[in-house]
Each structure stands twice: as C-alpha cells, then as structure tokens.
Structure 1
Amino acid sequence: MINRLKNKLNIKLIFLSVVSFCLLLDISLSTAEDRIIAIVNDEFITESELKDKNDFSYIKLSYLIEKKLQLQTAKKRGITVQQEEIPSFKEIISEEEKKEAVEQLTIFKLLNKDIKSRISINDKELEEYYILNKELFILPEEVRVGYVFIPIKTSDSPENINLSNKKINNILSDLKINTSLKDISMRYNGSIDVQIIDDLGAIKRGDLLKELDIAAFSLREGEISDVIYTSSGFYILKVLEKKSLKYKTFEDLTDLIREKVFQEKSEKLYKEWIYNIKTSSFIELRI
C-alpha cells in the first residue's frame, strides 16, 4: 500500500516537473534574445535569422516566411539538391553558407518547375510590349563637340579680362576661316591660359553648363558658336557631329523585350503561386 502511494506521488512529481519545465521553456523562448518571431506550419523563425536586429523590418520577415514556405513545398514535392550540383561546394568553409547554397538551389529548382516552365511568349506579345513602351527605348539627342576655353578669375584685373576677350575673339576669327581646332591647338601649345579640346566626344542635354548646353544643341553639324561668356571664362564650341532623337528599332530590342516580358510574367505568376501557398498554410506572427 505504501509502495503504491509512493508510486502515485512520484508520478505526480514527474508530471509537475514536466509542466514546470514547459512553462519555463515558454518563458525563456519569449524573453531570450533568440526568441520565436513567427511560426510557419510546423517550423519556427527566430529573431537571430533576421541577422541584423537593429534593422528589423516586416520586409525581411516576409522574405523569411516565403523562403520557409518555398523550402517546405520543395520538401513535399521531393525536390532535393546534391552537393555535386553546387559549383565550388567543397570550397565553402562555413556550414551556414553551405546550408544557404543548398537552400537557394532547392528554391531555384522549385521555381523553375512551378513558375518558369509555365511561361510562354510569342512574337505578338513582344511587338505589343514595344508599341506600348516605346518611350522607354528612345535614343536621346546627342552632339559631338570640340571647344576652346580661356579661364578667367574674379581676381583678374579688367586689363587681363580684356586681353582674354581679345584672344578668344581672335581664335574665333581663325576658326571662321576654316582653321581647324587641331591647328589652333598646335598654335597655342604650351599656353597655360588657353585650353583646346578638339573632340570632347558625344554629350547629351544637361551634360554641360547651361550656356554651353543651349549653344551646343542649337548649332547645326559643323557650325561654330560665337564666344560664350560664363562666370568661369570664355568658350567657343564647334559641333562635329549631331544625332537627332530617335527610337531604337524593334529588331534591335527583341532579346531585351523578351527578358522584360518574361520577368513581368514571372513576377505575376509568383505572386499568385505564393499567395495560394500562404492561404493554405498556418502562419502566426509573434511580434
């Protein structure tokens, strides 16, 4: 009889110990640094998985939830990854990095099967995309210019400014009688107060100072500007080549458009796919 009572007492003590342990465990999970912040079906996401707790955000948590759902789906579907499938797997030192590499390839395989394999694109769709988004494929107006520049400083005397003005106008006169910028450059070679670039290359609107920009795009090909006075000095521009605004052709853009259409379809299908998985899963946030 006494032994029977002892056994009952021992069972009660064991039961109370288990309950106490569970309560302590629950408290420790909610108070410890690495606390559970989400439950996804039968798996947890912990705070440490966010990496940088100072930059905690729902965007990161949403990513982790989706990743967990993707891996669970892949497991149900029997999608596996062998180490040999991962380039340079043996060179990866960290176990965490190895795990991440396996998970990423697993998700890649899953999305290939469930998303990418369902996408088809025909020529009509590509042409429609080009027509509807033609403004995205503009080749902006460009000019190729050379220039002469004589700098001035606020500390320059009026006499020096007048001399610089006279010099730039003399250069302009030479250019107007078909003297090339290269010839002018050779003539003033070694001069510290005259800068000459015979070909600056192609420029777009907004690349130059406002005064130079206006002049460059108002001149015709081969034309030379008058002296342009700016706060930094005196300029002369010569337009070497001019390209008008035009659209890139559909033929030149076929591959690019195909990529864009594929990307848009992929994103749409993925949103539908992950939504269906989420709505059929148990997800609990603990934040």
Structure 2
Amino acid sequence: MMNIKKLISIVAISIFSFSTVGCNMIAKTPEAINKSVVAKVNDEKITRGDLDKSAAMLQVIEQVKQQYGENYAKNEEAQSALKTQRDQVLDTMITEKVMEQKAKELNIMPSDSKIKSEVKTQIDTLKKQQFSGDQTKFDEALKQQNLTQETLNNLFYQQVKAQDVYNNLSNNVTKNLKITDKQVEDYYNKNKYKYAESTDKTHLEHILVKTEDEAKKVKTRLDKGEDFAKVAKDVSQDTATKSKGGDLGYVNYVDSGMDADFMAAAIKLKEGQVSDPVKTQFGYHIIKCVDKKEYPVKKLSAVKDQIRKELEDEQKQTTIKQKLTEWQKAAKITKYEKNLA
C-alpha cells in the first residue's frame, strides 16, 4: 500500500502537471487532450485523461519530476521518458479493462459498495499508521497539499478495484485446481533445502566471462591446477568481485538475490568443487564452492501444508496468466499512439 505522504506528494504534483503535459500538441486545449481516446478495448474507450490521472501514471510523473526537476515539462528528454512510461501504463490499463469485461461477462465483478468499503478500511489504516488516527492532522495534511478526500478515495478506488477483479478472476478460473499429495512429496524431495531448520548457505567464488568458449578455456586452466583467485583476477568481468579473486562470500540458498540458474548450479557443488560453465543472463560463470553450511531438514509432515499452498499459488498464477493472454488475443484492442505524445 502506498505511504500517504508519498501519495499526497504525487497528487500535489499532478495538480499542475495535467495542464502542462502534452501542451506541445498544437491546436488542442488541455480539455481536448484529456478527452482524446488513447485506446479502445472492444467497445470501451480509455481516454488520455483516464491515463494521466491513473495512480500508476501519477507515480511516473513524480519520478520524472525528481529526476528532471520542476521544469520537466519543458525538457525534451523528460517528455520522451513520459511518453515511454505512458505507453507502458496504458498497456496495464488495457489489461485491466480486459479483466473487467471478462469479470462482467462471468458475473463476478466486485460490487461498488464492496470496493468502497475496502477503500475506507485502507485509508483508515493509513490514517492510524501515519497520523495516529488523528483526523485533524490527516485533514490538515490533505489541505496543505490542496488534496481533497474525494481525490484520495479515487486513487485508492482504482487500485482496490483492479486487485479485486484480478482476485475474482483468479479464483474463478482455478476453482477446480487440486494439488495431490504426490505433487507435494515430489516438490519436497527436490527442494529440501528450502525447508531446513535454519538457512543453508554456501561460500562461493566465481569467474564471469562473455562466451562459452572463454568459460571452457578458464575451466581448462583451473583443471590444470591454476589458482582460482589468480585466474579470476586475470580474466573475470565481474568488477565487483574481480579484485577479490571472485569471492562472493556466503550466499543463502533461499532468497539469495542471485540469478536462479547460477544458484541452482552452485547449490549442487560439493566443498572444493568447481563447476563446468554455467550460463546466466550475465554471461558464463565458473563457480567454486569453498564451504557449505547446511542444516537438518524439517519433516514433510511439518511443511506439507505450506508446500501445498505454495504450489497452489504458483499454479494459480500460471493459469490466470495463460487466461489473460487468451482473453487479450480474443479482444479487439486498438491503441492511438498519436494521442500519447
């Protein structure tokens, strides 16, 4: 959920930015620009005003202002960045429109009263967290930023509605989803390290090069007995670790922050073992396991419910993603790029 101070800042910026963004469109007033159609999803229109007043676009405007300053509207580079981001936000809005239309078709559209009730709950929670529930302080913060309660409600309404529509569709298309005991057991056996009593970790060193051929040459040098750290300092292209002989220190098995393919290969290594070339998005790695700290694994009975939930969530995400692709392909979608400038 967005911090209210951040939200207030974003909305304050939008008050003056709406009159300047797009002002280079000759012979069009701000009102005409706002009414111009930027996309159609089947028979429903999305206007430039809908786009520029979306919560996502307001965040973009805030980021552009921070990067380019108060006069960002007169900066060509800033306007180009806005155009690119506006196009991306529009794609999201198109997807949301497709979902809304499908939810209406399936008669699972969340009610207006339900959405408003959730909005009230979220704003009340923020009020409590940021202003200790003090309505006077909350109202004063809105007033200082020329922000009305109605505008704040509308921003939250957009986000709550989109999330509720997504949840309803996801539940609908996955209502018959079942995870078997065998699926749970198989996943457990393949990923036991995820359920260790403490966090498993491994001390790694690596050498990064651009091509597989270079990686094979590195492996050959190491197989002939050359020192790993020396070779890393000689050829590794990872500037963060090269001077340290490729030393990455201890890396957690779970939530490592490392490339998934890199970690999958690293976890399999025994102490002192050096990998064959491992391809990732960054290039080719040779990985050495210096040390490992592994802990006992919890019994399946203790984690089976957790695993079942994880597998259900994963399959739900996969299923709804596939369905969204199908629905978008079936929909008649037209974008009017000229109205995004």
TM-score, length-scaled by structure 2? 0.40
TM-score, length of structure 1 as denominator length: 0.46
Structure with the higher strand share, 1 or 2: 1
Larger Rg: 1
